[in-house]
Amino acid sequence: MSDSRKPQTVIPIQPLFASDPKVYPRSIRGVFQRWRWVFAWLTQIVFYGLCWLPWNGRQAVLFDLDARRFYVFDFVLWPQDIIYLAVLLVLSALALFLFTTVAGRLWCGYTCPQTVYTELFLWIEHHIEGDRPQRMKLDAAPWSARKLGLKVAKHGAWLVLALWTGFTFVGYFTPIRELASAMLNLSLSGWETFWVLFYGAATYGNAGFMREQMCKYICPYAQFQFVMFDPDTLIVAYDEKRGEPRGGRSKKVVPAEKGLGDCIDCSICVQVCPTGIDIRDGLQLECIGCAACIDACDQVMDRMNYPRGLIRYSTENALKNRSSRATIIKRSMRPRVLIYSVVFLSLLAVTVWTLAMRVPVKLDIERDRAALATETTEGSIENAFQLQVINASEQPRLFAVTVAGIDSIHLSAPLELVVPAAASASATARVRVEPGALHGGSHPIRFTVVDVDRPEISVTEDARFWMP
Ligand code: SF4
Ligand code: SF4
């Protein structure tokens, strides 16, 4: 046999990426679905509404990056307040550890923006194209005037919601009323237009198309949260002991007599799942803990006259040991949780106390770089400092500057500054010391800035006086 007639070994080509089939979640009603809508409403009322709330004659929450000032209700935060941002990040991380250890993925299932916007987009899709079977049929059907009309209506509604979301998001960084009026007058700046379109496109893409892919492949929280899970963490779980062996049967059949468990293998729990997984295969990374499968299965159990809870919120230990709800609650108070709670609550208390005690004035001191020290005509030694006084309150204030720390130290002339609300003012402070009062070198001194009308509002900062 010649080489060319020998049978060839065919090596199958494996694709680098396998595209996931599109998920068509079936709509569902139930206790947890209502809770998901409650959280969707609450979070979206806050998100879409807060930026319109006026406060002290300005927007209540505004992150003014140009002016490098963050307004959060009564607080005006400056770059010098970056510590609060750092503390906020630490608090968020601790809250995440604590919450995930106790309650698993409740955040993902109820309040994560990806979940909430997917839910809103699905609601629109459901009302325009119909429920799962109609949507699957429509997608499989050839293009027609009806299909085109439905798709245009759906994408039009999605785009309106997405652009409104992008506009609202930008409205936290640019005063939203000015943004709205610029938009109506078609005079948005290039950057404003870009960011509105960018966030609008991100919402449209993530909630309309990416959906569960974001949770499965992109969200970092989904990838590492299992590290925080332990056998007592609350999860959405299928009770295998009760459900298996699964199988179809009529309502009149007593499962035990047929050697069956309570799962009738109707697959409705799979059809309602927004990530398209089968919870009966056990805990999976793709499960966002939305509990749609609990609502679905409870309805099936009701129809079959079986007790509810074949799929339920539980823990690995509780399923294994058939533990009661009281035991689950008791075990949630485990050492790891208590440590996280103590650290989180302590840091939160310190932060709240620090914010409440925060003095609304800040002082930045810079030494005059032109000369370390000069001798005045009277023979005193003079150092010059550039002071920047920041008024972090929303009333204009008159501040007086004093200096101390060395005998005979004084300012060349009384120094007062009027600082407008939420603004800063600079002045040069000329500090003098009598000759011979100090040996040569650098000496610690203190500047104090005090509100003339309210002396309890003051700040003191250290500096150094240079004696030649
Ligand atoms: S909905 Fe319940 S009964 Fe139906 S397949 Fe899922 S677990 Fe089984
Ligand atoms: S398995 Fe259940 S809880 Fe998990 S994502 Fe699917 S429907 Fe939601």
The alpha carbon of 419 and the centre of ligand 1 are apart by a number of angstroms equal to 68
Q: Which of 29-43, 214-228, 425-439 has the lowest mean pLDDT?
A: 214-228
- How far is CA 9 from each of CA 6, 12, 16, 227, rounded to the nearest angstrom? 9, 9, 21, 44
Question: Are residues 235 and 190 located together in one domain of the fold?
Answer: no
> C-alpha distances in angstroms, 408 versus 93, 195, 366, 460?
51, 57, 22, 19
* Inside any domain, residue 288: yes
Say how many residues make up the chain: 468
Considering the domain architecture, whether residues 43 and 175 belong to the same structural domain is answered as: yes
Do 388 and 426 fall into the same domain? yes
- Same domain flag for 306 and 397: no
Q: Kindly state whether residues 427 and 313 are assigned to the same domain.
A: no
Q: Which atom of ligand 2 is nearest to the CA of 288?
A: 5
Q: Out of 203, 227, 251, pick the residue that ends a domain.
A: 227
For residue 209, pLDDT beyond 50: yes
Closest CA to 236 of 299, 281, 303: 281
The structural domain count of the chain equals 3
Q: What is the pLDDT of residue 5?
A: 55
CA of 221 relative to ligand 2 center, distance in Å: 17
Range of the domain at 447: 361-467
In a shared domain, residues 141 and 218: yes
Same domain membership, residue 304 and residue 366:
no
Q: Is residue 381 part of a domain?
A: yes
pLDDT of residue 2: 47
From atom 8 of ligand 2, which residue's Cα is the shortest distance away? 290
Q: At what angle do helices 82-103 and 335-356 cross, to 10 degrees?
A: 150
Neighbours of 236 (CB within 10 A): 24
CB of 236 closer than 6 A to ligand 2? yes
Residue 369 has pLDDT above 80, yes or no: no
- Check residue 11 and give its pLDDT: 62
Is 41 found in the same domain as 190? yes
**Is 275 a pocket residue for ligand 2 (Cβ < 6 Å)?**
yes
pLDDT average, residue stretch 413-439:
90
Which of residues 185, 208, 227 is at a domain's end? Answer: 227
Confidence of residue 1 (pLDDT cuts 50, 70, 90): very low
Summarize pLDDT for 291-306 with one digit per residue, the tens.
Answer: 999 999 999 999 999 9
Is 62 domain-assigned? no
CA of 281 to the centre of ligand 1 (A): 12
Q: Ligand 1, atom 8: nearest CA belongs to which residue?
A: 263
Is a pLDDT exceeding 60 seen at residue 7?
Answer: no
For residue 92, tell me if it sits in a domain: no
Ligand 2 pocket, residue 108 CB under 6 Å: no
Percent of the chain residues past pLDDT 90, beyond the cut: 71
Confidence of residue 343 (pLDDT cuts 50, 70, 90): very high
Same domain, 220 and 244: no
Count Cβ neighbours within 10 Å for each residue of 200-234 and write b for 16 or more, e otherwise: bebbbebbbebbbebbbeebeebeebeebbeebbb
For residue 246, tell me if it sits in a domain: yes
Distance CA 54, CA 177 (A): 10
Q: How high is the pLDDT of residue 466? A: 92
Pocket test for ligand 1, best of 32, 272, 308, 310 (most atoms within 8 A of CB): 310
Residue 455 within any structural domain of the chain? yes
Q: Assign 6 a pLDDT band (cuts: 50, 70, 90).
A: low
* Rounded Cα–Cα distance for residues 186 and 301 (Å): 56
Same domain, 313 and 412: no
Which ligand is in closest contact with the Cα of 306? 1
CA of 209 to the centre of ligand 2 (A): 19
**195: pLDDT strictly greater than 60:** yes
Domain assignment of residue 343, yes or no: no
Residues 460, 373, single domain; the answer is yes
